[in-house]
Structure 1
């Protein structure tokens, strides 16, 4: 009787194996990413001022905002410039500093140079860069 039970168990295992055509090789779950990403836009007054951003300008503006909001502690927040294009840029900050970074840029009054006022505005931020890049340009979809 034990041989019959073993053969039934083997048949059951074989049937279950035949039903599954795919096999999971690896599962990886990222619970808390180390970085957050911020999409910034330069706003100017007057709006028609032809001002283009560069890496140093973005770093300078962000450092000024962080210093004004958090003092020297704010300047210690590491910033990585991912891309600067025209009046937009993408920045990477440590995930735990995203709230402080966003608050500093929101509270920053901007700068004035030769009668042109400039400030950085946060367009979007996320812990996942792919989510931001995938949505980039959606605002133009219905406006064209």
Structure 2
């Protein structure tokens, strides 16, 4: 009788091993299915660029805002002039080191300019542009700036439209 009990105990042990291995296989399948549901995941910790929205303020545009009865068209600026004005501002603020800051003119619309600058230099560009007054009395007004892209249209679509 003890032999029968021993065989029964051994059989039970084998049955338990089989069921536990099938449970492990099932768990592996479920885990692998769950792991495949994530397509991609990443975190942006430190963006490389800062984006600035600047407006060129001239004496003509100031006069036009004071005289609301006269309908004068705001002066338009081109990319080269905007770049040269910003380089002049950086040179006055930081000297030769300021001219070494790389700037990308992303968009020009009338007298408004969107600029991309390295994140570590953004404070210097904002200070230089905000404090610059050109020979004709023109200057930059910083409308907005940040590290997460243009915020004018909430999604940046207007930047390339």
- Structure with more of its chain in helix, by fraction: 2
Asked if structure 1 preserves the Cα contact closer than 8 Å seen for 2:107 and 2:113, the reply is yes
Write the mapping of 1:86-105 to structure 2, written as runs, cut at 5 A: 86-105=110-129
Task: Give unpaired runs (5+ residues) of structure 1.
Answer: 137-144
1:111 aligns with 2:134: yes
Give me the TM-score of the superposition, normalised by structure 1. Answer: 0.77
Give me the TM-score of the superposition, normalised by structure 2. Answer: 0.69
In structure 2, do the counterparts of structure 1 residues 62 and 130 end up closer, same or farther at CA, with 3 Å as the change threshold? closer
Moved over 6 A (4+): none
State which structure, 1 or 2, has the greater radius of gyration over its C-alpha atoms: 2
1:51 aligns with 2:75: yes
Say how many residue pairs are matched: 131
Which residue of 8, 21, 38 corresponds with 1:6?
Answer: 21
Which residue of 62, 73, 78 corresponds with 2:97?
Answer: 73
Asked if structure 2 preserves the Cα contact closer than 8 Å seen for 1:34 and 1:95, the reply is yes
Q: Deviations over 1:18-49 (max 9, x none)?
A: 7x5x7112223222222111111111224226
**Partner SS, residue 143 of structure 2:** strand
Q: 1:17 deviation in Å? A: 6.3
- Structure with more of its chain in strand, by fraction: 1
Task: Give unpaired runs (5+ residues) of structure 2.
Answer: 1-15, 65-71, 157-161
- C-alpha RMSD of matched pairs (Å): 2.5
